[in-house]
């Protein structure tokens, strides 16, 4: 560094550092933003106190921002306004419904009387709705006085009264009502949100309509309709629109609210006149005839509708009870009944079911989609159609097992045993023959050879029987075991004639639940239970009972179908008997 630079640094070093700091602060957006943020609240307060220029400056950008935000995120603003808008909307709807209901009631009360018929003609000639005309003719009331009272301080802002009304001191009335209003809030509304809206005083009714800055109190002679409150609310809203700011800051200077009494005078024009005519209290025969006709027509349609509903209910019950039909919808369409649902091709048609239940006179329009039902009756019928039915052979379905009863040829049995799984809903098959049927089959085919008997053994081999829990068979398996024992004895008797016998092996299984040692013991017990049951049913041959030797299962979750025992057969030669 040169001597000159050193001298400059000594003389102006401090000022240079200050200037560099100022330059850095001016050039840095982050530092400038922090400075502005620090003084912005105070600047806004100062500008607001100095005049209304800040409001004018912010009105347009803030309004644009709000409009954009409401368009982009209406849900958030809807949730924010819900506590305010919800009660206001409900209150307005409730008031409108009450007014509408009262007008409807009054119109109905007058519509079926001679005077009502006369009024209907007059309303038609005048071009006025009948409901409004009834209100004008039947109600009697008059607004005699109207007080506009400030809600901020209870001062009387304006007062108007009917020429026939008499009042001593309107200010005293205003002060007294304000005191009563405060008393009601303190005594009956702990959160001070309640307010007095009406009071009855002999022949007078006092109504108070509340606004943001003032309330309109009207003294009404007679019984006013609820619709009058809507008219008074409209007048109060108009007053707030014209004098809202002046009323909010009202301190007793009536010059700040000019012509407000003219607005209040509009309340005094709300009145109803009493009809001077007298009603005919005698019996009106034309009206009585009309009433009888109306009641008769109503009764006819009611009875007809009830009978039609009963017909549809009876048809629906019949269709629901018919195997192979599944109804999703049923209803009356003019003069016909429309039915939608599913229908098995073997099931009867909807029209046939209706005719069988005495509803042949009902026009049925059926929109039924085809499907295959798993109803046992239809499954048995489908099997008979598929395999044919030799003489004396019948089909039945128990659960998911196809039961073939009767003396059927062995080759036909083999064909059915190989193809029955092609029918949906069937998982097992069983051939049942009584001893007489088996003897009949042997007599009809005395030349049955060993191959035929081996086919029978193959059918009986590997039969599974299922347990509900422990060593207790399910009801279906218990019945099947009884029939199985008869088949085993018959097959063994036939094989014995050819010098052969049957060896049985019962193997027990369990599901994966529990310890392996416990499951192994339970599997052994199940095998022994099957062996004991067969012995009790008359089997006198050898039976080997064992548990599943590998203690393994091919599933990773609980499966009740593994709780079973399987009987395996082995045809062996025996020593011929002497």
Taking only the tens place, the pLDDT of each residue in 518-537 is: 888 999 999 999 999 999 98
- C-alpha triplet 422, 425, 431: angle, nearest 5°: 75
Residue 303's alpha-carbon distances to 186, 307, 354, 433, in angstroms, are: 58, 6, 22, 58
Please report the sign of the dihedral spanned by the C-alpha atoms of residue 152, residue 156, residue 157, residue 163.
Answer: positive
Band of pLDDT at residue 577, cut at 50, 70 and 90: very low
Q: Is the pLDDT of residue 360 over 60?
A: yes
pLDDT recorded at residue 529: 93
Euclidean distance between CA atoms 234 and 240, whole angstroms: 10
Q: What is the pLDDT of residues 119-151, one digit of tens each?
A: 778 878 877 777 666 655 655 788 888 999 988
Between the alpha carbon of residue 578 and those of residues 339, 489, 499, 551, 572, the distances in Å are: 74, 21, 12, 45, 19
Give Cα separations from 246 to 52, 252, 254, 258 (angstroms): 18, 11, 10, 10
From residue 1, alpha-carbon distances to 12, 15, 553 in Å are 15, 19, 93
From 366, 162, 346, select the one nearest 270 (Cα to Cα).
162
CA 424 to chain centre: 35
SS3 of residue 56 by DSSP: helix
Residue-wise pLDDT for 299-345, tens only, equals: 888 888 888 788 888 888 888 888 988 888 888 877 788 889 999 98
Longest CA–CA separation in the chain, Å: 146
pLDDT score recorded for residue 29:
77
With a cut of 90, say whether residue 393 has pLDDT above it: no
Cross-strand bridge partners of residue 572: 501
Question: Is 527 exposed, middle or buried (CB count within 10 Å of its CB: 0-12, 13-18, 19+)?
Answer: buried
Residues 191, 197, 202, CA angle at the centre, nearest 5°? Answer: 130
pTM assigned to the model: 0.34
Mean pLDDT to the nearest integer, 206-212: 87
Query: Region 235-242: what's the mean pLDDT?
Result: 88
Average pLDDT, the chain: 79
In angstroms, what CA-CA distances link 492 with 323, 460, 483, 502, 571? Answer: 40, 11, 14, 6, 9
Token pair belonging to 134: 């009834």
Q: How confident is the model at residue 81 (pLDDT cuts 50, 70, 90)?
A: low
Q: Which of 95-99, 481-485, 547-551 shows the lowest per-residue confidence on average (mean pLDDT)?
A: 95-99
Q: Which domains does the chain have, with CATH numbers?
A: 9-72 (no CATH), 139-272 (3.30.450.70), 295-370 (3.30.300), 376-573 (3.30.1330.60)
- Give the Å distances, CA to CA, from 24 to 27, 30, 50: 5, 11, 33
Q: Please name every residue paired with 325 in a beta bridge, in sequence order, or none if there are none.
A: 343
> How many C-beta atoms surround the C-beta of residue 508 within 10 A?
27
Three-class DSSP labels, 468-517 = EECCEECHHHHHHHHHHHHHHHHHHHHHHHCCEEEEEEEEECCCCCCCHH
Phi-psi region of 570 (alpha: psi -120 to 50; beta: other; left: phi over 0): beta
323 near 373, Cβ under 8 Å?
yes
- Among residues 334, 335, 328, 382, the alpha carbon closest in space to that of 350 is found at 328
For residue range 463-488, list pLDDT tens digits in order: 899 998 888 999 899 989 988 988 88
255 or 573, which is more confident?
A: 255
The string of DSSP letters for 534-578 reads HHHTT--S-EEEEE-TT---S-SS--GGGSEEEEEEEEEE-PPP-
For residue 191, name the pLDDT band (cuts at 50, 70, 90): low
Q: Bigger pLDDT: 410 or 351?
A: 351
């Amino acid at each position: 560094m040169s001597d000159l630079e050193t001298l400059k640094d000594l003389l102006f070093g401090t000022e240079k550092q200050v200037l560099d700091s100022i330059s850095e602060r001016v050039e840095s957006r982050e530092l400038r933003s922090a400075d502005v943020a620090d003084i912005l609240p105070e600047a806004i307060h100062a500008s607001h106190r100095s005049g209304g220029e800040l409001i004018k400056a912010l009105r347009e950008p803030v309004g644009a921002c709000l409009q954009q935000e409401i368009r982009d995120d209406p849900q958030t603003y809807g949730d924010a306004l819900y506590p305010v808008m919800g009660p206001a909307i409900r209150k307005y709807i409730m008031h409108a419904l009450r007014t509408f209901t009262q007008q409807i009631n009054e119109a109905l009360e007058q519509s079926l009387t001679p005077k009502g018929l006369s009024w209907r003609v007059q309303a038609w000639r005048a071009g006025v709705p009948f409901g409004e005309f009834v209100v004008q003719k039947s109600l009697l009331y008059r607004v005699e006085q109207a007080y506009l009272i400030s809600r901020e301080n209870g001062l009387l802002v304006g007062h108007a009264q009917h020429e026939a009304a008499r009042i001593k001191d309107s200010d005293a009335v205003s002060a007294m009502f304000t005191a009563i209003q405060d008393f009601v809030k303190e005594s009956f509304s702990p959160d001070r949100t309640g307010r007095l809206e009406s009071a009855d005083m002999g022949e007078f009714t006092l109504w108070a309509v509340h606004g943001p800055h003032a309330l309109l109190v009207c003294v009404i002679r007679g019984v006013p309709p609820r619709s009058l409150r809507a008219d008074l609310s409209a007048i109060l809203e108009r007053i707030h629109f014209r004098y809202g700011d002046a009323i909010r800051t009202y301190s007793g200077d009536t010059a700040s609210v000019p012509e407000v009494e003219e607005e209040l005078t509009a309340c005094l024009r709300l009145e109803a006149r009493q009809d001077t005519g007298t009603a005919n209290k005698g019996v009106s025969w034309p009206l009585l005839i009309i009433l009888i006709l109306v009641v008769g027509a109503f009764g006819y349609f009611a009875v007809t509708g009830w009978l039609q509903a009963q017909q549809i209910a009876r048809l629906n019950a019949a269709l629901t009870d018919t195997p192979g039909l599944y109804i999703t919808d049923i209803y009356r369409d003019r003069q016909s009944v429309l039915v939608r649902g599913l229908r098995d091709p073997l099931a009867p048609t909807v029209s046939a079911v209706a005719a069988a239940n005495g509803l042949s006179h009902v026009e049925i329009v059926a929109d039924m989609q085809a499907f295959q039902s798993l109803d046992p009756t239809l499954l048995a019928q489908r099997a008979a159609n598929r395999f044919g039915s030799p003489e004396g052979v019948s089909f039945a379905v128990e659960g998911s097992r196809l039961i073939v009863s009767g003396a059927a040829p062995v080759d036909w049995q083999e064909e059915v045993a190989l193809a029955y799984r092609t029918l949906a809903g069937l998982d097992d098959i069983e051939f049942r023959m009584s001893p007489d049927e088996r003897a009949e089959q042997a007599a009809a085919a005395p030349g049955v050879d060993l191959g035929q008997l081996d086919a029978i053994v193959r059918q009986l081999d590997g039969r599974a029987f299922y347990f509900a829990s422990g060593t207790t068979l399910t009801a279906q398996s218990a019945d099947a075991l009884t029939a199985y024992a008869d088949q085993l004895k018959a097959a063994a008797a036939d094989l014995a004639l050819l010098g052969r016998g049957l060896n049985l092996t019962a193997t027990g299984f369990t599901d994966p639940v529990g310890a392996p040692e416990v499951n192994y013991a339970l599997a052994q017990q199940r095998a022994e239970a099957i062996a004991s049951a067969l012995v009790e049913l008359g089997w006198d041959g050898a039976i080997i009972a064992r548990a599943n030797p590998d203690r393994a299962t091919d599933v990773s979750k609980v499966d009740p179908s593994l709780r079973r025992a399987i009987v395996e057969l082995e045809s062996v030669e025996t020593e011929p008997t002497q």
